[in-house]
Amino acid sequence: MLALAAGTAGATGLFHDTPSGPHALPGDNLPPFGVKDADGRLPPPPPLPPGMKWPAGGGPPESTAASPSLAEATRMATAAIRACTASGARVGVAVIDAAGEARVLLNAPGTDGSHGFVGMRKALVALAFARPSSTVAAHAQDPDVLARVTQAMFVEGGALPIRRGGRVIGAIGVSGAMGLPIGGHDEACAAAGLQR
């Protein structure tokens, strides 16, 4: 179904980028240079293999995963932020595609910037289970559910799958609204985003 288990995918990209760790979000793939290593060194970029050239712009897409368009994803995220802001909550919103990759990541003014990433982790839950993340959270201790949860997921309410033509093409996740049940207000804002 979905290759959402960060840290288990093979190396990708020109420089064999790999996930940054077991808690990495989809798309958080790093090249083997430019990031301080365990020995405290900053590896330089490797030379290109003989005969290889930098890819030209306009090449094939890096992803062909089903997803809402950029305009749709932006409208959804903006509508979710507006809904939460109207009730006094400062949130972050992530809209992801069917592969779990971020399409839009927005944080409302006054947030610390982390909420969008937590929203993305919630969205991964809604995507992987094709249901609201609150429903998954309510059954999280079920061994069959727990077996499908990855280290990149945040299993609380706040995210909903995005459907088109009967299939899930992504998810929207919201984080930062307070109150009980945890994520309840976030999920209401995500629902407002889907109404866009």
Q: What is the pLDDT of residues 156-180, one digit of tens each?
A: 999 999 999 999 999 999 999 988 8
Together in a domain, 34 and 100: no
Answer yes or no: is pLDDT of 138 > 90: yes
Answer yes or no: is pLDDT of 106 > 70: yes
Task: Give the pLDDT mean for 88-113.
Answer: 95
Together in a domain, 16 and 84: no
Looking up tokens 């559910």, which residue turns up?
Answer: 145
Does residue 1 sit within a domain? Answer: no
**Spatial contact of 147 and 3, defined as CB atoms under 8 Å apart:** no
pLDDT at 12: 56
Task: Give the pLDDT mean for 72-95.
Answer: 96
Domain that holds residue 19: 9-62
What residues have CB less than 8 Å from 183, skipping those under 6 apart?
A: 122, 133, 134, 137, 156, 157, 158, 175
Does residue 2 sit within a domain? Answer: no
User: Which range among 53-57, 59-63, 122-126 shows the weakest confidence by mean pLDDT?
Assistant: 53-57
pLDDT at 185: 95
Answer yes or no: is pLDDT of 77 > 80: yes
Answer yes or no: is pLDDT of 45 > 80: yes
Does residue 104 sit within a domain? Answer: yes
Together in a domain, 53 and 76: no
Task: Give the pLDDT mean for 37-62.
Answer: 82
Query: To the nearest whole number, what is the mean pLDDT of the chain?
Result: 88
User: Residue 99: which pLDDT band, with cuts at 50, 70 and 90?
Assistant: very high
Q: How many domains does the chain have?
A: 2
Strands 92-97 and 29-30: unpaired
More reliable by pLDDT, 57 or 168: 168
**What are the tokens at 15?**
């420089």
Does residue 3 sit within a domain? Answer: no
Together in a domain, 75 and 13: no
